[in-house]
Each structure stands twice: as structure tokens, then as C-alpha cells.
């Protein structure tokens, strides 16, 4: 069963932390993008994280339904079935839930896992993200504590965020980079200590600290990353509470980041990097190429009948699937998770 159990997911994170590598976390919105993610990880013999957002779930449920929770459940159940054909481990995660949607999105999904567990099945999701970074840190942590307790009861890992990530990812709007004071783009060591003190001992959690990262894709020079922020925060926590207090960190806004900057974050405890913008482009680019090259076949021009073989959606969606898998494989290489699946060892 390659959808990781809670114990296997914990082992995945431990292995990444010990080995100074990280898992790409790719957002999906459909069966096609789910298959692309599974192919990408499997081709590289890398474990990985597949995630869904409120917007992705809404899309997956169809135009007439528009139900984020239902869409995420459908995609997660499909992942459980499809992943059985692969010899890697995959964790399922939800991305960027704002405080106002905790009751309508996260809690129903946690309840869905609880129902599966009561029926003797595995967790539907292995982790969820609460994005309360728009709140003052004290309010953010108060909400995080309550939600982490609920997650811990069901062997679910909670991802939390402190600091501001600019741009937009899969419908989750961050801040306008030009409107945010520099100090808000960088989580302080004091904030990182406060996060540890609030959450440690309740249950396992992932922490998305900010170090100038943004969602989306920008030209060189537009984004000023400071990975040393992560080191300073880790040092502040471990010097006070010991090495066991080291965070499992998450890098948001990883698309377009130069490889040397990615690698620096790995040394500071990043075990998960979100990739969405680059994989969206990797899906769309080959589809556009197909349409341009087969223009007269995909359209019925001047009374002609077109070419069913090229306007059949499978013709170009397969190209999109392959494009995403290839780009995800590059991320596995960049994050050094290639060839390091722990499938069959735990």
C-alpha cells in the first residue's frame, strides 16, 4: 500500500531530515495530474507528497457541484487505489487552508480520516496545512494548537506557517511583494522559538517559515531569498531546547528557485518543497504545442471534419501528464530525493 501509513510518513520525514534531502510536494486537480505525480515520483524512485487545495478540490468536484471537500475526498480515494500499482511511498496532504475555512474544509476532511480509521482502514490524508500566517502570531498559534490536537488524535501531521509568503499558489493568495515590509517576509528566530514552545509535545508538525520566498514565477532578481534565516531560527531553537527540537521545515514558493538556493535550504532542515507553478506550465506547454502543430486537425475549419485522433482529449492530456512527470522528476533531482525511496523498508 504505497499511500504511506502515519508511521511510514514519519519515517519518510525522518529519512529526509537525516539525509539532507526534501520531497517535492505537487498540487493536483484531476486524475490526469494525479497520474502525472505518481509517474514522476516512480520514474525517479522517489517518495513524495501529493497535495490538494480548496480550489483544486472545488475544480475536481465538477462545475455543477463545486464542493472543495468532496473533490479532495474523490482525489484522495483515487490516489489510494492508483498508488497500489507503484513501488514508492506517497503521502497525501492538503494545502493552504485559511482560518475562515477550517470548519468547512479541514475539519470535515479530518472527520473523513476518522471515519476510515474507525472502519479499520488507513488515513485518508496524512497531513494538512493550516495557513494562519495572516493572523498575529499569538492568534495563529492558538488556532494551531487546537487543530494540532485534533490532528494528533488521528495520527495526522499538521503543517503551520508563520510569516508572509507573497504571490499566489493554486488560488491561495499571498501578499503583494511590494506592499509587505521586509521584516514580514522573514520569520525571526524569536518567532521560531515561539512556534516550538506553542506546539511541541502536542503532536508532530511541519513548519513553513518564511525567508523571502513567494508563490509563482518571477524573473531573476525579483525574489531575494535568505536561507540563512532558516539556520538562525533552527540554531535559536536547538540552542535552547536541544537537537530534538529541530524543525521539519517546508519551503513554499519553490518554483523557479535556482538549484544552489534549493540545496542550501536542505542543510537547514527543509524536508518538503511545494512545487505548483512550474508543474502547471509543464502541463500546459505540451498541450499548446500539440494544438499548434495540429491546428487543422483539432478544429473543423471551413466545413472540414478535423482529425479525431488529434482532437481526442487523450491525445494532448497524455502529453500534459508526461510534461508534469518530467518536471517533477527534475524537482526530485534538485532536492536529492531521487533513488531514496524507503518503500519496503518500513
Tell me the catalytic residues: 95
| Of 72, 145, 85, the residue nearest 113 (C-alpha) | 72
- Residue 340's region, left for phi above 0, alpha for psi from -120 to 50, else beta, is alpha
Identify the residue whose cell numbers are 499548434: 292
Residues 6+ apart with CB under 8 A from 174: 164, 165, 166, 167, 168, 214, 215
Within 10 angstroms of residue 154's Cβ, the number of other Cβ atoms is 18
Q: Dig out the grid coordinates for 149 from the structure.
A: 490536537
CA dihedral sign of residues 234, 237, 239, 241 = negative
Quote the CA–CA distance of 163 and 146 in Å, as a whole number: 20
Within 10 angstroms of residue 4's Cβ, the number of other Cβ atoms is 28
Q: Dig out the grid coordinates for 74 from the structure.
A: 474523490
| Of 192, 183, 180, 182, the residue nearest 230 (C-alpha) | 192
What does R_g of the chain's alpha carbons equal in angstroms? 20
Amino acid at each position: 500500500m504505497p499511500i504511506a501509513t502515519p508511521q511510514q510518513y514519519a519515517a519518510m520525514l525522518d529519512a529526509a531530515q537525516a539525509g539532507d534531502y526534501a520531497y517535492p510536494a505537487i498540487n493536483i486537480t484531476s486524475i490526469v495530474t494525479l497520474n502525472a505525480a505518481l509517474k514522476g515520483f516512480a520514474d525517479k524512485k522517489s517518495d513524495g507528497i501529493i497535495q490538494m487545495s480548496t480550489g483544486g478540490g472545488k475544480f475536481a468536484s465538477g462545475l455543477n457541484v463545486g464542493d472543495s471537500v468532496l473533490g479532495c475526498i474523490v482525489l484522495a480515494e483515487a490516489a489510494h487505489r492508483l498508488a497500489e500499482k507503484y513501488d514508492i511511498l506517497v503521502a497525501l496532504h492538503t494545502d493552504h487552508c485559511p482560518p475562515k475555512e477550517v470548519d468547512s474544509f479541514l475539519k470535515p476532511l479530518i472527520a473523513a480520516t476518522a471515519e476510515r480509521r474507525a472502519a479499520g482502514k488507513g488515513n485518508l490524508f496524512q497531513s494538512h496545512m493550516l495557513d494562519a500566517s495572516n493572523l498575529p502570531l499569538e492568534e495563529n498559534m492558538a488556532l494551531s494548537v487546537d487543530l494540532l490536537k485534533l490532528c494528533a488524535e488521528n495520527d495526522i501531521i499538521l503543517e503551520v506557517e508563520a510569516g508572509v509568503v507573497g504571490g499566489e499558489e493554486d488560488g491561495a493568495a499571498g501578499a503583494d511583494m511590494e506592499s509587505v515590509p521586509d521584516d514580514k517576509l522573514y520569520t525571526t528566530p524569536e518567532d521560531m522559538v515561539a512556534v516550538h514552545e506553542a506546539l511541541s509535545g502536542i503532536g508532530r508538525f511541519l513548519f513553513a517559515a518564511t525567508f523571502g520566498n513567494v508563490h509563482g514565477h518571477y524573473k531573476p532578481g525579483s525574489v531575494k531569498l535568505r536561507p540563512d534565516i532558516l539556520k538562525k531560527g533552527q540554531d535559536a531553537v536547538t540552542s535552547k531546547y536541544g537537537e530534538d527540537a529541530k524543525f521539519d521545515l517546508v519551503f513554499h514558493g519553490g518554483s523557479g528557485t535556482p538549484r544552489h538556493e534549493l540545496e542550501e535550504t536542505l542543510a537547514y532542515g527543509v524536508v518538503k518543497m511545494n512545487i505548483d507553478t512550474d508543474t502547471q506550465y509543464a502541463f500546459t506547454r505540451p498541450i499548446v504545442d500539440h494544438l499548434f502543430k495540429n491546428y487543422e486537425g483539432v478544429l473543423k475549419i471551413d466545413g472540414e471534419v478535423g482529425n479525431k485522433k488529434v482532437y481526442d482529449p487523450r491525445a494532448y492530456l497524455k502529453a500534459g501528464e508526461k510534461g508534469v512527470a518530467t518536471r517533477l522528476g527534475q524537482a526530485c533531482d534538485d532536492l536529492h530525493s531521487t533513488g531514496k525511496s524507503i518503500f519496503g523498508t518500513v
